[in-house]
A = this chain, B = another copy of it.
Amino acid sequence: MENIEKIRHSLSHIMAAAVLEFFPKAKLGIGPAIENGFYYDFDLKEKIVPEDLPKIEAKMREILKNEIIFKARRITKQKARAMFKDQPYKLELIKKLAGKTVSAYQSNGFIDLCKGPHIKTSKEILPDAFKLTRVAGAYWQGDEKKPMLQRIYGLAFSSKRELDEFVSRQEEAEKRDHRILGKNLDLFVFSDLVGKGLPLFTEKGSVIRRELERFIVDEEIKRGYKHVYTPDLARVELYKTSGHYPYYKETMYPVMKIDKEELILRPMTCPHHFQLYASRQHSYRELPYRIAELAKQFRYEKSGELTGLIRVRSFCLADAHIIVQKEKAVEEINNVLDLIDYAASVLGLETGVNYRYQLSLGDRKDSKKYYKDDKAWDFAENVLRTVLIQRKAPYFEAEKEAAFYGPKIDIQMKNFAGIENTAFTVQYDFVMPKRFNLYYIDKDNAKKEPIVIHRSSIGAIERIMAFLIEHYAGALPVWLSPVQAWVIPVGDQHLEYCRKFGAELSEAKIRVEVKDEPETLGHKIREGEMQKVPYLLVIGDKEIAENSVSVRFRSKVLGRKNTEDFKVRLIEKIKSHKLD
């Protein structure tokens, strides 16, 4: 264990000791080190409020004024039971632990059931490099049937500088939080009557969504994809045939029984696309057969896991399934990664900087989780590895992360706060063709079995939107901006001219608003910047006289520009999806 982790864990003991000074009757849960800090769970009648945290923090610093030595003790269970007789959670833990003795740590007057390790002395703790941050409810042992405890979180680092950096990064991340920006910029809302995890996109949020959707559909069609529409629901039988049902049942919506049919909302699109492929016979000349769809999918995420647009109960995936000869898999996966890299670059994201690749492998020994066919797994994993090496892609391998039907490449996207998540994925599938009897007629007129590549180009529209909102702190590239320009008259006498100019921009499909409210120029400019409107176009006497507009672009004053020139450049910028 790294020393900083020992410091974090030791701080949780010191925090528990401090809490006991304020609340002597508190029952203790557990207090581990976590990423960037630590926490401890308490069961007590009084509600710990945010205002308590500075007090507890001060008490901890007071405790730390005297050196504390952390001493490990090995004691019999019997002795432990006596020692923790007033601590029911500790007694529960003692009962569960194997062996006749348990480990405890003493730090001055505080003793805790704990397997360690700890730092030797509190001198290793810098009193200005930790900070309590928040209190939240947490079920004992994460089990919602068990009591809800109060969890106090703290941050701790090896230096004050590191702590300060982390905190300011956190603050920036909060400012960029897509849930907050989504509300402030009026992009989407939730409604209790509609239900949790089901966002309603406003006019502005819908512009972003529609632009993303059209961009990716057009790009995929250009690259030879057949873009289709298939139903959002199907008979349960379909997912039993695919074999998805047992794996996904938990997060699928319940079956809808009507008449003699059992229907269910789809958790994935692949079997639908296979039905399209199988609706007629295909020759090797038609392969790779690339079926794509903006596919609504439905998964019933637990309410605790729902997060803004990132984790929702219904999402729209830029999905595709490619039916291709096994021998052409390397070439086609390269095509897919080309598309992903291209789409990411248009969105302003760079390989190696914003994302890297994870090669997710299977486990030959686990034939429950992974379809049993060692040779096929070896071949498939090798295909994916070859592609990544050939491309000199920044990648790493992850064991036991494959789908049940084959290995995959996960595109791991790093957000502003440095947290990595799977954004899109490319999966190699050698199982579904068998299950759905997918085949093609080869040159020799024989029926052959293809493989399937499951892939997403820009992932779920909701999720990439959330990511982009945070990445750009709401100031999206012009082509994605809900409102691209405000036309602001200097005075009322310029309003008519502004309206005409606004109509002209509208005609050219530029999303523009003419700000005719009775407010000052300064107010409108501030408001426009707050609303992240990329272009603020001010027009007064001078501009009208010389046929120009005064252009402000994202707080930068670009000065007066010829009206026609400006318009032509803006149209071109939007059309070519240019970044700022």
Interface residues, chain A, with chain B CB atoms under 8 Å away? 186, 189, 191, 193-196, 198-203, 205-206, 209-210, 214, 217, 226-235, 237-238, 241, 253-254, 256-259, 261, 263, 265, 271-272, 275-276, 279-280, 291, 296, 298, 300, 303, 314
Q: Tell me if B228 and A203 are in contact (CB < 8 A).
A: yes
The 4 closest A-B pairs by CB, nearest first: A203-B226, A198-B231, A191-B275, A201-B229
Q: Which of B189, B206, B232, B279 contacts A232 (CB 8 A)?
A: B232
Q: Tell me if B238 and A193 are in contact (CB < 8 A).
A: yes
Write the nearest CB–CB distance from A312 to chain B, whole angstroms. 9
What are 24 A-B residue pairs whose CB atoms fall within 8 Å in the complex?
A: A193-B271, A194-B234, A194-B272, A195-B233, A195-B235, A198-B234, A200-B228, A200-B230, A201-B228, A201-B230, A202-B228, A203-B226, A203-B227, A206-B227, A206-B229, A209-B229, A214-B214, A232-B232, A232-B296, A233-B314, A253-B256, A253-B258, A254-B257, A296-B296
Write the nearest CB–CB distance from A437 to chain B, whole angstroms. 12
Q: Which residue of B lies closest to A516 (CB)?
A: B285
Q: Tell me if A210 and B217 are in contact (CB < 8 A).
A: yes
CB-CB < 8 A to A234: which residues of B?
193-195, 198
Majority SS at the chain A contact face: mixed
Q: Tell me if A202 and B254 are in contact (CB < 8 A).
A: no
CB-CB < 8 A to A271: which residues of B?
193
CB-CB < 8 A to A241: which residues of B?
193
User: Once bound together, how far apart are the Cα atoms of A201 and B292, in whole Å?
Assistant: 12
User: Once bound together, how far apart are the Cα atoms of A234 and B195, in whole Å?
Assistant: 6
Q: Which of B194, B198, B229, B275 contacts A194 (CB 8 A)?
A: B275
CB-CB < 8 A to A230: which residues of B?
194, 200-201
Q: Which residue of B lies closest to A207 (CB)?
A: B227
Tell whether A275 pairs with B200 under 8 Å between CB atoms, given A193-B237, A229-B206.
yes
Known: A206-B227, A231-B314. 9 other contacts (CB 8 A): A189-B279, A193-B237, A193-B275, A195-B263, A201-B230, A203-B291, A233-B314, A253-B258, A256-B265
CB-CB < 8 A to A276: which residues of B?
189, 200, 202
Tell whether A258 pairs with B254 under 8 Å between CB atoms, given A229-B201, A276-B202.
yes
Q: Which of B205, B231, B314 contacts A195 (CB 8 A)?
A: B231
CB-CB < 8 A to A259: which residues of B?
303
User: Once bound together, how far apart are the Cα atoms of A314 and B229, in whole Å?
Assistant: 12
CB-CB < 8 A to A279: which residues of B?
189, 191, 200, 202
Q: Which residue of B lies closest to A262 (CB)?
A: B195
CB-CB < 8 A to A272: which residues of B?
194, 200
CB-CB < 8 A to A256: which residues of B?
253-254, 256, 265
The winner among A233, A238, A253, A271 for most chain B CB atoms within 10 A is A233
User: Once bound together, how far apart are the Cα atoms of A228 and B198, in whole Å?
Assistant: 14
CB-CB < 8 A to A227: which residues of B?
203, 206, 210
